[in-house]
Structure formats: structure tokens, C-alpha cells
A and B are shown apart, each in its own frame.
Chain A
């Protein structure tokens, strides 16, 4: 069994971080994982995306043409990657920035107003955590408890940010219900 998740958005939205958090959580649960960033001559505000591969067997190709799932944080990302997602996957759409649908009828489309939800718990910048939590709650790739543990570890150097991010996580989980 192998799942591939594409996280995509603008540079600065914390795309690479939520990919890392998912990879970390899956590693903690004993899965084989790989986190592959898009690295290239990028500029601030340009596109940022990464792929997280989670499997029960050693991971072969780190290059994934058709990921299982997509977390799209801005419109260009949705338009670019929604067509390549495998049927049956979760496609999370950041409703705060994306006024359109995926155009797919064979995927599990999940619309979450990540920025508005994050703002409601104190800081719109935690939109990425809202998105990640909603995605995890819907896809069930890892448990929410493991995710929470990894968020706490990630922010252990900045403990002031932990309560905000945990709150954002909890609201993200609710949004996926």
C-alpha cells in the first residue's frame, strides 16, 4: 500500500512544513516515508509544492506523476494538479482563496476555508495547519493524536505557538466532518 500526497500553494503559506509534519507523523506510526520538495529557481510568492509518499514497503520512485491526494492552497495549484490526482483521492480546496471546484467528480472534494478558520482561532497564518488537520481527518492516513504530537515537537523551540497551532488543528479536524 502506498499513498502520495501533493501539497501545493504559494511560497510562504507553509506548504513544505505541513508536508514535513505529515511525513513525520507517518514515520512515527512506522510507515516508510519520503518528502520530496519542488526545488528550483523560485521567488518569494512563487509556487511551492512538495510530495509526501507514505507506504508499507520501501519507497521506490520519489517522482510521482499521479498522486493519490491533493491539498491545494491556491488556485493555480488546484488548476495544475487536480487533473492528475488518482480517482478516489481526497482533494482539499482552500476555500479562502479558491472560488472554483476541482472539476472532478471521481474524487473526494473537501472545501475548507482555512484562512478564515485560522483567523478565528487567532492567526490566519495557521491556515496551513487547518488544511493539514482537515486533510488528515478526511484521509485518515495517520491518527490525529500522532499529528498533534508532531505539531508539538515541530514548535518545541517556539512553545508560545503551540496552543494556537493545536487550536487550528482541532478546528481543521472539525471542518472535515
Chain B
């Protein structure tokens, strides 16, 4: 019997990574790493707490001959300070990609986010993958997300042997997800901006898991948006999830920012204020067509889940 192929999965403490590991562990030998904590994922998953920027990280590559990397690990803008985050997310990813080259890893999948496009009043709808990434123009707190993407893009074209796939999903929601917009759906009262209800896209965590596994296994290098072709305004989504809205003054913008800084709500961070105002609708057709992907869960499935929590 042939030994199982080995995959390195980063960000193992996250809900999405756990789902991906669960899905792939029958087929592959999984080595899970996380910057924050050593995650117990049960036998046979080997798990490490490791800083990508430390030399010890290379030992994992020396010990295991990886057949692929699924890079889901990211320190979000609400965790740690900007400098540490930049080091972990951007410099750490560079280290990871350099090690992938050194140890001839044949495929790398990187999870990005639709935030990189930036929420601007001038955004057309259905942004495709060639749209410039303008998030860093809006806030310094998203600079690391954009830089990480740019870095991966450079490696994608300079080192085709890594077969890098970059995925830019819309809002991921569902059990265990702790990002800002899923938090808004899970709370009983959620802040919204007075007079603004941007159009949004949501993908269920199970569908996102399937998308990652599909993209990893089929491995067609490139950059792909992932989003269903179904839309809902933020305020309608909050209501559909059984929550009430708390309107926050939207003009003048400086007042909104002061309120956000003062409240320090995780569901209303200052760096995402523009995403509460303007839509960032992405076009997921390229991924759907290239990989034959169709989400199984509907928007209603997502909202029914959040409603059931209340």
C-alpha cells in the first residue's frame, strides 16, 4: 500500500481549517500548524504551534516531504498589533513560500479575502479577479491582507512550479465562523450604519470547505473569487438571521469612526466602516466554471442557522 500524501495545513485553530482537515484526513496525512496555539485534532493529525518566522519551522519541512500546502492561517486585523500582524501574515507567508520552493512542494493554496478589493462608493458590481486591490487605500489595517496577496501573486508568476492557487472568498458564515460579518448575524442586536445597507454575498463554511478541497485537488493555478450568485443587503441579512439592528450615525464620517473606536465592538471595527457602507460584490464565475463548483447551501440555510442560535 502506497503511503498517504502529506499536506501542511496552516491556521489549524480556525473553524474552516478544522473542517478542511476533517475532509482531507482520510486521503492525506495532515500536518497542522497554528501561530496561536497547538490544536488537538486527534489521531492521526500531527499538530504544532509554530511561528513561521522561527528557524524551527523549517524542521517541519525537513521531517515531512510535503505534497501540498493549504495556507489558511491568518491573524485578523482585530488580533495583535499592526506590526506583529504584518510580520506573521506577510513575512511569515514569504518564509512559507520560500520553504515550499526549497523543499519542492508541488502545490500551494492560499486563502485570501474579498476585503482586498476595498469598499468604495465607486466600485462597480461583480468585480473580477483583475480588479485592482484598493483596500490599503482605505485603511492601514488591511495593508497586510493586500501585501500578502501581492506577495503570493509575485510567487505565482515567478515560480510556476509552486502551482499557487489564491482564493478570494466573499463573507464566510456558518457554525464556528468568527469573522466580523458572521458575528453580526449571530448577535441579537447588530450595529448598522444609518442610511446604508450594502449588498453582500455569503458562503456557507461547508461550501467554502468544499471549494478549498476542490481547488487543492484539481490544482489549476491562478487567482479566483469565490461567491455564489445570490445577494442580500446587510440589513436584510441581519433581519433574516433574526437579529435587530442598532443604527449608528453615518454622517459626518469622523463621528462614525469615533463611535466605532469608543465602542470597540468586534462586530463594528473602525477599519471595516466602509464595508458597512458600500458593496463589494465579487464575480465568482471563473472559479465556478474552472472547477465545476456550485454551492450546496443557500442564503436561507445560513440565516436559518443563525436564527436557530437565538
Whether chains A and B associate is no
Q: Which residues of A line the B interface, CB within 8 A?
A: none
